[in-house]
Each structure stands twice: as structure tokens, then as C-alpha cells.
Chains A and B, each alone.
Chain A
């Protein structure tokens, strides 16, 4: 506490960042905060609609397939795989940032590459799941799944599912593009010439945010 009170007046005297980070990183934080409100609004409208509806489909009956599953239905298996892919890609991103602190160009490139692979794997999984659901008859405005109590369901379930996972998937896609651009810049030695790898940290913040949102989407749609 004593250090905070001693440093705070100096922090706001100008000439330095009162947040002790560079401008770009602070703005990335503010962008992510606004993005959190966008996702929050989506998820809360989903929750509100679910609370306002008498019945709701059981996610364990809807999301119970995985590639080549055939007749063996197992709920949660495929989405667990997607969750772990995203967590691991988040870890490799932290490691890339860590290598950036040590100015290790090769290490940054290696871990960025692994992060990109993880992102692409996640997108592949999502593409498979969407295709599968589409062939089962689910799409915006179409819901083939009955409520868990056997009553007829509304299309809200599929509308929210495709809108929110689609919006998240679009974020993953943008993250992969950003990471690819970062990888190209790393390989060209741009950051070595600049003298620091702070840009990787900003891309990393975005990537972790994508992982963070998936934690919420995963819980809200598949678990509860």
C-alpha cells in the first residue's frame, strides 16, 4: 500500500504512462474490454431468452457426435477436445511472449507457429461441427431438436448457438490471421530491428481473449 500512495502522484504528473504500459497495449486492453461487453451482451440475451422460455433442448442430446463416431454417441467428447486445443494454443502463445522477452527470435517463431496450428485445428473442429449440425437440419431459423421434456422447441436455441459460436469462430479466424502476420514479421526480423517484441504481447492479449471467451461459450452452451 505504501508504495502505491508514494508512486501514484508521480504516475499522473505527465511525461510517462500512468498505466506503465505503452499506448498500443493499453488500447488493446480497452478494445478487449469493449469486445467483452459485446460477447457479454450476446450471452446475456441468450440467458434471458432461455429464462423466458418454458422448455429448452438438452445440449447432451444435441452435441453428442464427433468425426467417425458412427452410432456411438458420446456427449461432450468433441467439445472437450476443442476446449483443450484452445487452452494449449493459449499456452504456446504465452511461451511465445516469454521468448520475446528474451529476444529469442527462433523461440518466438516456433511457439507462434504452434499457436497458429492450434487455431487452425480449432477452426477445423468447428467447421466439422457446423457441417454436422447443418446436415442434421439445424441452422438459423431451423431447429430439429426437441426440448428436453419432449415438447416442441423454438428456433432460439439454434439461432443463438450459430450466432455466438460463429462470432467467436470469427474472432479465432482473425486471431489466426494476426498471428500469421506476427510470424511473418518475426521471421523478417522486424522486431529484432525494433529492439523489442512488444507487438507479440498485444497479439497475445487478443489470442488469450479468444480463449477466455470460449471458456464462457463452452460453459453456457455445452455444459449447463
Chain B
């Protein structure tokens, strides 16, 4: 067989290089900093719609980071099309997986709140107030 492991090792020099590694490092760092900035900003936002919007932006940055890690650090972008497809296509199951389950969770909440009066009342009980200073006690 002409296609030995050694020849595969030789062929894998496409793409990459230190320059690309540093570029992706900078991108990942910047994205993380933006995410953190949004996280800090989110703490003082009370408007529900605005909160959902910021969370959505954070999730987009999360997916972008995932793309750069898988594409460049894990080298998938420089692999041939067959390999990319065999990995990426099955992951599209997550689209259904996330949509269906989160919708189901939401519907379960609404059902419990509307059909089980006791549940809603129990979940609206105030939590016992913790004494100041007892928190963060390290043995």
C-alpha cells in the first residue's frame, strides 16, 4: 500500500503554522473578554427582553469560540471534506435536541404552574434569610 502512516504524517502540513496559532489565540482571548464584559453588564440589567438579548449574544460568542477551537486548534478546517462532514453532520442533531428539550421544559413549567396550585405556592415561598457572616465561612 502506498498510503502509509508516514505519508499521512507528511501530508498534514497544510494550514497551521505559528502565525495562525497566535492569531486564533488573540481571537479566543478577545471573545472571552467580550463575553466577560457582557456578563458583568448583565448583572445590572433588569429588563427581561434585554437580558435575553444579551444572553443570546453571549451564546453567539460561545459558538464562535467553539468554531475557532475545533476549526484551528483541532485542525478540522484543514482536513478534507469527507472528515469534516462525518464529524459535523451528526452534530446537527443538537439543533433538534436543544429546541425540543427546552420547549418541553418550558411547557412542563407552565403545566405545573397552571394545574398544580400547590406547586406554584411552594415555589414562591421566601428562602430563609441567612445570617450575615455565616456565609463564606471557611473551616
Contacts and interface: CB of A to CB of B under 8 A. Distances in A.
Contact of A91 (B25, B42, B124): B25
Interface in A94-142: 94-95, 98, 101, 132, 135-136
Contacts of B48: none
B68 to A, nearest CB: 10
A54 B124 contact: yes
B89 to A, nearest CB: 10
A153 B127 contact: yes
Interface string B31-69: 010011011101100000000000100110010011001
B21 A146 contact: no
A98 B105 contact: no
Nearest to A18: B82
Interface of B: 1-3, 5-6, 8-9, 11-13, 16-18, 21, 25, 28-29, 32, 35-36, 38-40, 42-43, 55, 58-59, 62, 65-66, 69-70, 73-75, 79-83, 86-87, 90-91, 93-94, 97-98, 101-102, 104-106, 108-109, 112-113, 120, 123-128, 130, 135-139
A90 B69 contact: yes
- 7 closest Cβ pairs, A-B complex: A51-B105, A146-B127, A48-B105, A196-B9, A16-B3, A52-B105, A19-B83
Interface in A187-216: 195-198, 201, 204-205, 208-209, 211-212, 215-216
Interface in A39-89: 40, 44-45, 47-55, 60, 65, 75-76, 80, 83-84, 87
A65 to B, nearest CB: 6
A198 B10 CA distance: 10
Interface of A: 4, 8, 11, 15-22, 26, 29, 33, 36-37, 40, 44-45, 47-55, 60, 65, 75-76, 80, 83-84, 87, 90-91, 93-95, 98, 101, 132, 135-136, 144, 146-147, 150-153, 195-198, 201, 204-205, 208-209, 211-212, 215-216, 219, 222-224
A54 B118 CA distance: 13
A203 to B, nearest CB: 12
Contacts of B28: 87
Nearest to B32: A83
A118 B47 CA distance: 39
B-side binding surface: helix, strand, loop or mixed?
helix
Nearest to B85: A19
Contacts of A215: 62, 65-66, 69
Given A21-B8, A54-B120, A196-B5, A135 B138 contact: yes
Contact of B125 (A22, A51, A144, A151): A151
A83 B35 CA distance: 11
B76 to A, nearest CB: 8
B45 to A, nearest CB: 12
Given A21-B8, A87-B25, A205-B74, A48 B66 contact: no
Contacts of B39: 76, 222-223
A32 to B, nearest CB: 8
A80 B9 contact: no
